[in-house]
Structure 1
């Protein structure tokens, strides 16, 4: 459960509503597992913001929080979540390479598509450094090389084309397009309003992935 508010005062009112609901229905919130995060306004940081309490227990303020498997940070950057996916990809690839080393190439390619191309919540990545993004791309390419036993410096585009599987750029385009399509088709009023904004970060990211640039 997540509460979003533009101010501390409004957030306290929302917390009070939750406390009242819990008392009425015989529920109890676990304050030890509840946290607060204050997002930065540009480069401005609120270091002396008033605290928030839940049922009399002060809540711990954190700089990042994991929600539905996605890391959200106070500066609204996606580097932390990109690194999460890179580490997860490394673990999955090493597992496949160990357990299925003797399988044929078609089997390995099928396993790679099933376990290494999900990139969970990557459609939400709109604010990250090129280094973090490049590290993930390199990890993806190396994962395929290791699984198939290919030379370390072989052509990435060539090996994916030969195996008839998507490279990193293709995966990112498809995931972003899929998210945008689902948001536009949603009947939720908030999502519909977001989908109609052509200046949104999601639309900007989609454009960057799908529009070719000539120099």
Structure 2
């Protein structure tokens, strides 16, 4: 109740394009972005199939690497993260017309394009940089604390350990 009015309780809602769930997990929003990435990549692959690789790479970078609201993702399952990573790789293959079995690291390196992990690290770093540069006193207070859980999460995000 709020001022005598009954409030509806919902399991999720979309706010500024980001899906917020009752449990504050990010898997649903990651799935939203995975599907949106699939749509964008398929559209590019169809409309620009006859363009040069350079044009396709430029279009991929412009339309498929934004990963809208990914800087807000803080609590998600490895399954949701991997599903998005696989979709990102498949999107690049589709746009360039590459076979499904080609190496993801090789295709990104050959195209001088950031892989999924690099893109996510850049997005997280950009958010931390914007928070630290903000004139907002609340954000400045958060950014100045090196032990802030969210800043620690952003700084440690997508760090590979135990690569063998």
Deviations 1:22-48 (A, max 9, x none): xxxxxxxxxxxxxxxxxxxxxxxxxxx
2:10 to 55, 58, 62: 62
Could you say if the C-alpha distance between residues 202 and 156 of structure 1 is closer, same or farther in structure 2, counting changes exceeding 3 Å? same
Contact kept in structure 1, 2:71 and 2:123, CA below 8 Å: yes
Alignment correspondent of 2:77: 129
Q: Which residue of 1 aligns with 2:111?
A: 163
1:52 aligns with 2:2: yes
Aligned to 1:118: 66
Q: 1:210 to 1:70 in 2, by over 3 A?
A: closer
**Paired residues of 2:121 and 2:158 also in contact (CA < 8 A):** yes
TM-score calculated relative to the size of structure 2: 0.92
Q: What is the CA RMSD across the aligned residues, in angstroms?
A: 1.7
Larger radius of gyration: 1
Contact kept? 1:180, 1:202, Cα under 8 Å: no
Q: Which stretches in structure 1 are left out of the alignment for 5+ residues?
A: 1-50
Cα deviation 1:120-151 (Å, max 9, x = unaligned): 11111110000000000000000011111111
Deviation at 1:199, TM superposition (A): 2.9
**2:19 paired residue among 62, 68, 71:** 71
Call closer, same or farther: CA 1:212–1:150 in 2, change over 3 Å.
Answer: closer
- Residue in structure 2 matched with residue 209 of structure 1 by the alignment: 157
CA distance in 2, matches of 1:151, 1:87: 21
* Distance change in 2, residues 1:143/1:211 (3 Å): closer
Poorly superposed stretches of 4+, deviation over 4 Å: none
Given the alignment of the two structures, is residue 181 of structure 1 paired with residue 119 of structure 2, yes or no?
A: no
Flag the structure with more relative contact order, 1 or 2, with Cα contacts below 8 A and sequence separation at least 6: 2
1:104-132 alpha-carbon deviations (Å, 9 max, x no partner): 11111111011000011111111000000
TM-score by length of 1: 0.71
The residue number in structure 2 matching 1:42 is: none
Is contact 1:65–1:71 with CA below 8 Å preserved after alignment?
Answer: yes
Q: CA separation of 1:85/1:91 partners in 2, compared to 1, >3 Å: closer, same or farther?
A: same
Query: What stretches of structure 2 of length at least 5 have no aligned partner?
Result: none
Distance 2:147 2:31 in 1: 27
Q: Which residue of 2 aligns with 1:198?
A: 146
